[in-house]
Amino acid sequence: MNVITATRNYLVVGLGATGLSCVRFLRARGQSVAVVDSRATPPGLDVLQRDFPDVELTTGAFSAEQLKSADILVMSPGVPLATPAIKAAIDAGVPVTSDIELFHQNFTGQLVLITGSNAKSTVTSWVADMARLANKAYVVGGNLGKPALELLDEPADLAILELSSFQLELLPPLVSSVATVLNVSEDHLDRYDSYEAYRQAKLRIYRGAQQVVFNRADALTQASLETPARSFGLDAPKGDDFGLVDVAGDLCLAQGEQPLLPASEVALPGRHNLANALASVALASAVGLPQEAILASLRRFKGLPHRCELVATKAGVRYVNDSKGTNVGATLAAVEGLGREAPGTLILLVGGQGKDADFAPLAAPVNELCKAVFAYGEDGDLLAAAIGPLTQRLDTMQDALTAAHQSASDGDTVLLSPACASFDQFRNFEHRGEQFRALVEALA
C-alpha cells in the first residue's frame, strides 16, 4: 500500500538515522525532499551526500520562513515541537508528520505498540522472540534497532514497535492491534513542562488501539478508555488478566486462575523481569501467538545488553551491567528486582547527568536493600545528598567500580544502574556499559 498520491514538498527536520530513512522513503516515491538540521555536521551527513547529492541540506539555526515554505514537515523525534521556528510554522498551518505515521500508513499487518519509562526495549525484544519462535513473519524496530520506514522493505504481517514519548508527541491516533504503557516514572523533565505532560505523551499510544495492556500496579499507565483492556502485575490476577499465583508453594506466571509457567523457569533474573515477562505474554497473546512459542521464549530469552546483564562472577561477587538504567524508575526496578533476592548484599553504582530528576525516591529502597552506594559524575553530589550516608562520592565510574570491588565480599552483587544519562563521561549508555564490562573483566 502507498497512500502518497501527489507530489509534495517535504522538509525533513533532523537528519540522523531516522531522517535518512525518511529521505529514502520519500524519494523512492517521487517526492520533493529537503533537509534541515541545527547541527553543523549532523549524523548521516556523509550518507546523505553520497546517496542523495541533489537533496538540499540547510544546517544551523532553523529559519521559520524556510519551515513555513514546506508543504509538510517530517519531524525527527529528537527535535522538540516547541522549538520557536517549528512552532511558528505549525501555528501558520504547516502540517507535521513523522516516520512512524508514514510507516503506519503503509503497513497492512497487525501492529503492536510498546512504550514506558523503562523496560520497553526488553519487552519489545521479548515479544519479537516469541514471534520468531512462532515462525511468524514479523518486523521489529522504531525506537529500537532499525528506523520504522526501513522495516517496510521486509515481508511481514506483524510489526512490533517500541515508541518513545518524543515519537508519540508527533502521532495522530494509530490503529493498532494492541498498545501498552508498561510504566511511568520521572524522565526527560528537561524537555517537558511537567511530569504530567510527559505522562500524557506516553498515554497517546492508546489512541486508536483495538486492545490495551496496562500495569495494574502503576495507576499512571491507566487511562479512561472504552477499549478492551487487560492488565499485568506481580499479584494474583483476576478474570483474564496476567499475574503471579501460588501453586503448591511454587510461584507461577498465570492468566487468571490458569498457571502458565513456574517463575523459576523464566530465563531473565530479577523480580522486575517477571513483570516484563507477564507484559510480553499479554501482548503476544493479544495478537494470537501460540502459547507453545510464548512459553518457550520465557524459558530461553536472555535479555538485551546493558539491561541487568550479568557481566562476570569473580571471587563469588556478581557484576551486573544495567547501564540502560538512565532514570530513577529504571534504577528502582533494578534495585528492587535484584536486592530482594538477598537484602544487604547489593552494592550500587549511580551517577551521570540527572536530567533534572528528583532522586529522593531512591533513598528508602536503596537504604533498605543495599550494602553500599558509590556515586560519581556530574550529578553525584545530588545523588549522595538524596540517598544519604550510605553513599560515598567519587569522580568517575572507574573510581566507583574500584571502590565497590574493594568493599565487596563473597555473595555480594555490584550493580551499575546509574539513574542518569551518560553524556558527562560517555558517548551514550552503550559506551558506558561497554566500559563497565571492560573494567570488570580487567579486575583481578
Q: Is the pLDDT assigned to residue 207 strictly greater than 80?
A: yes
**CB neighbours of 208 closer than 8 A, spacing ≥ 6?**
173, 174, 175, 176
Cα–Cα distance for residue pair 219/199, rounded to 1 Å = 11
Q: Which of 1-10, 219-228, 252-261 has the lowest mean pLDDT?
A: 1-10
Structural domain for 387, as ranges? 309-441
Establish if 242 belongs to a structural domain: yes
188 is catalytic: yes
* Residue 394 pLDDT class (50, 70, 90 cuts): very high
- Looking at 248, 280, 300, which one is the last position of a domain? 300
Cα–Cα distance for residue pair 432/428, rounded to 1 Å = 6
314 is catalytic: no
- Looking at 33, 65, 97, which one is the last position of a domain? 97
Q: Which of 152-161, 208-217, 219-228, 283-292 has the lowest mean pLDDT?
A: 219-228
CB 113 within 8 A of CB 209: yes
CB 48 within 8 A of CB 96: no
Residue 189 is predicted with a pLDDT of: 76
CA angle 140–144–150, rounded 5-degree value: 55
Establish if 2 belongs to a structural domain: no
**243-269: pLDDT as tens digits:** 999 999 999 999 999 999 999 999 988
Q: Is the pLDDT assigned to residue 2 strictly greater than 50?
A: no
Establish if 3 belongs to a structural domain: no
Residue 353 bridge partners (DSSP): 421
- Whether residues 226 and 374 share a domain: the answer is no
- Whether residues 281 and 356 share a domain: the answer is no
Catalytic residue among 104, 118, 136, 143: 143
Q: What is the mean pLDDT of the segment spanning 155-179? A: 96
- Whether residues 268 and 329 share a domain: the answer is no
Q: Which of 69-73, 134-138, 266-270 has the lowest mean pLDDT?
A: 266-270
> How many independent structural domains does the chain possess?
3
Residue 5 is predicted with a pLDDT of: 56
- Whether residues 336 and 260 share a domain: the answer is no
- Whether residues 278 and 408 share a domain: the answer is no
Contacts 24+ apart (CB under 8 A), 427-434: 429/306, 429/323, 429/324, 429/326, 430/305, 430/306, 430/323, 432/306, 432/323, 432/352, 432/397, 433/305, 433/306, 433/309, 433/321, 433/323, 433/324
- Whether residues 161 and 234 share a domain: the answer is yes
Residue 190 is predicted with a pLDDT of: 81
Q: What is the pTM of this model?
A: 0.85
Query: What is the signed CA dihedral for 379, 380, 381, 383, rounded to 10 degrees?
Result: 90
Catalytic residue among 104, 136, 188, 355: 188
**21-57: pLDDT as tens digits:** 999 999 999 999 999 999 999 999 999 999 999 999 9
HEC secondary structure over 48-89: HHHHCCCCEEEECCCCHHHHHCCCEEEECCCCCCCCHHHHHH
Across the beta sheet with 229-232, the strand order is 138-142, 158-162, 110-115, 178-181, 212-215, 229-232, 242-247, 250-255, 258-262
Q: What is the mean pLDDT of the segment spanning 151-159? A: 97
Domain CATH number, residue 426: 3.90.190.20
Establish if 1 belongs to a structural domain: no
HEC secondary structure over 151-207: HHHCCCCEEEEECCHHHHHCCCCCCECEEEECCCCCCCCCCCCCHHHHHHHHHHHHC
CB 128 within 8 A of CB 159: no
CB 306 within 8 A of CB 433: yes
Domain CATH number, residue 247: 3.40.1190.10
pLDDT averaged over the chain? 95
**263-303: pLDDT as tens digits:** 999 998 888 999 999 999 999 999 999 999 999 999 999 88
120 is catalytic: yes
- Whether residues 264 and 358 share a domain: the answer is no
Residue 270 is predicted with a pLDDT of: 85
Residue 226 is predicted with a pLDDT of: 87
Catalytic residue among 120, 202, 272, 306: 120
Strand 138-142 and strand 110-115: the pairing is unpaired
Burial (Cβ within 10 Å: 0-12, 13-18, ≥19) of residue 338? buried
Within 10 A of 137 (CB to CB), how many other CB atoms are there? 11
Establish if 87 belongs to a structural domain: yes
- Whether residues 158 and 206 share a domain: the answer is yes
**355-388: pLDDT as tens digits:** 999 999 999 999 999 999 999 999 999 999 999 9
CB 374 within 8 A of CB 403: yes
- Whether residues 136 and 266 share a domain: the answer is yes
Q: What is the mean pLDDT of the segment spanning 107-133? A: 97
Residue 444 is predicted with a pLDDT of: 81
Residue 1 is predicted with a pLDDT of: 42
Residue 230 is predicted with a pLDDT of: 97
